[in-house]
Structure 1
C-alpha cells in the first residue's frame, strides 16, 4: 500500500479537508458516498440526545471527581489492557515487527508500569500504536463501504463495523472476562463501562471544535473517515487516498479554500 505523496500537494489537500470539515454545510460538500444518510442522521440525533441526557453528565461528574493526572493514569491502564487488540491485529496484518514492539510495550507497562498505570515503555522508545480489525480488513483490500451510524455506538462503516465483534471476541481481555463471568449486579461489565466513561471524558475538551459548525453530522462523519484513513496508512495517507475520500480533484482544492475564505468573511460581516 503506497505511503508517499508530494508534500506540497499533500499539505494543500489536508488543508482543504480540514476547512471543509470545519465549515460543515456552509461550503457545498463534495461527498457523494453517504447513501444511508437519512438513517444515519436519525441515529446521530438519537445518540446526541442520549449523550446529553446520560453519558455526558456522567463524564462531567467523572472529571469533577478526578484530577488530570488521575485521568491520565486511568487512561494508561485501559490503553494497556486493550493492547492485545493491537498486537493481534498486527499479526493478522503481517506486521511482525510491530507485533513484537506491541508485545514488548505490553510486558514492560504491565510489570514495571504497575499493571499499565504508568508508561515506562514510551521512555524506552516503544510508543503507543493503535490498530484494529477494521484496519486489518482495509490492509487485506476490503473497501470502506458506506458510512454508518449505529445507536449507542456512533460512527463506523460497513467495513469497520466488523471490528467490534471480532476484536471483542478474540482480543479484548475485558470483553472476554465479561463473557466468562457472572457477578452480582453485572459487575463483570463495569470495567467496559468505566472505559467508555474515560473515553467520553477525554472528548469534552474537543467539544469547542463544534462551535460554529453548521452541520455537526457532517463534521463527525468526515472527522471519523479522516481518522480511519490515517490509521490505515500509519499517519501518512497518500494524496490519492485523501482525494478519493473527499471526492475532489486537484483543481478543486484552491476553489474549496477560496469558498471557505468567503464563508469566514461573511461570518465576520454579520452583525
Structure 2
C-alpha cells in the first residue's frame, strides 16, 4: 500500500506547485486524462474480470453481508471524524451503530442497528477539512485512487491510513486480504452501472464526482444516478 501513498504524494506535489488552481475547475486536465485512461485500462483488463468472477461465485446474501461488514468497519472512521468536527450527535450515532452491529450483528455482517432506529451516519476527513476552512483545491485524477480534489484526496489518505481499522491489523496477510476484498467487492457492486456513463467518459466521471462531493460536504444528497460514483471509487481504491 505504501507505493500508492507515494503515487498520491507525487501528484499532491504537483498541486502544491500550482497554487493558482481553483476549486471545481480542471487545470490539470492534460495530466488527468492520461491517468483516467490508465485507470480505465487497469479496470477493464484486470479488476473488472476479477469482479465478474467474484460476482458469479458469491451469492447475493453473502455479498450483502460483505457490504454490511465494510460499512460497519468504516463506521469507526465516521465516528472519529464526527468527533473532530465537534458533531457529538453524529459521533454517538455512528459509534453506537458500530458497537451494536459489531456484537449483535456478528462483526457487522448483519445490520441490526437500522431496524432499531439507528440510521447510518457518514462523514470523512475531507468534510472535516472543509469545516476547518481548507479550500477544495483543483480536481485531480490519481493513479489507482481515481477522482479526487486536493482536499478530498488528503482526506482519503488520512481516513485510509490513520482513521480506519485495517492499518492497525498486525497480521499483514489479514490486512491485505481485507483491502483486497474491499477492492473486488466494491467493483463487483458497480458492474451494472457501467452503462450509465455516456459521451465523454472523463467529463462524465469528473462532473459526477464534483457534484456528489459538493453535496456530501454540505450534508446534502444528490437525487440522481451520479450519487454512486464516489462510493464506487472509494471502495475500489
TM-score using structure 2 length? 0.80
* Structure 1 residue aligned with 2:233: none
Alpha-carbon distance in structure 2 between the residues aligned to 1:82 and 1:236? 19
* Structure 2 residue aligned with 1:181: 171
Please list, as runs of the form range in 1=range in 2, the aligned pairs for 1:1-271 lying within 5 A after superposition. Answer: 33-177=25-169, 180-182=170-172, 186-210=173-197, 213-235=198-220
Alpha-carbon distance in structure 2 between the residues aligned to 1:32 and 1:128? 28
Please give the root-mean-square deviation of Cα atoms over the aligned residues, in Å: 1.7
Alpha-carbon distance in structure 1 between the residues aligned to 2:176 and 2:24? 39
Give SS of 1:120's match.
coil
Aligned partners of 2:24 and 2:137 also within 8 Å: no
Higher Cα Rg: structure 1 or 2?
1
Alpha-carbon distance in structure 2 between the residues aligned to 1:82 and 1:33? 30
Alpha-carbon distance in structure 1 between the residues aligned to 2:114 and 2:175? 30
Aligned partners of 2:54 and 2:188 also within 8 Å: yes
* 1:206 CA drift (Å): 1.2
Structure 2 gaps, min length 5: 1-22, 223-237
* 1:192 CA drift (Å): 0.6
* Structure 2 residue aligned with 1:249: none
* 1:234 CA drift (Å): 1.5
* 1:70 CA drift (Å): 1.4
C-alpha spacing 1:74/1:236, structure 2 compared with 1 (3 Å): closer
* Structure 2 residue aligned with 1:266: none
Structure 1 gaps, min length 5: 1-30, 238-271
Q: How many residues align?
A: 200
* 1:172 CA drift (Å): 1.0
Alpha-carbon distance in structure 2 between the residues aligned to 1:118 and 1:143? 38
Aligned partners of 2:68 and 2:108 also within 8 Å: yes
TM-score using structure 1 length? 0.70
Give SS of 1:53's match.
helix
Structure with the bigger RCO (C-alpha within 8 Å, sep 6+) is 1
Aligned partners of 1:144 and 1:157 also within 8 Å: yes
Aligned partners of 2:24 and 2:138 also within 8 Å: no
1:99-128 per-residue CA deviation (whole Å, 9 max, x = no partner) reads 001111001101111110000101111111
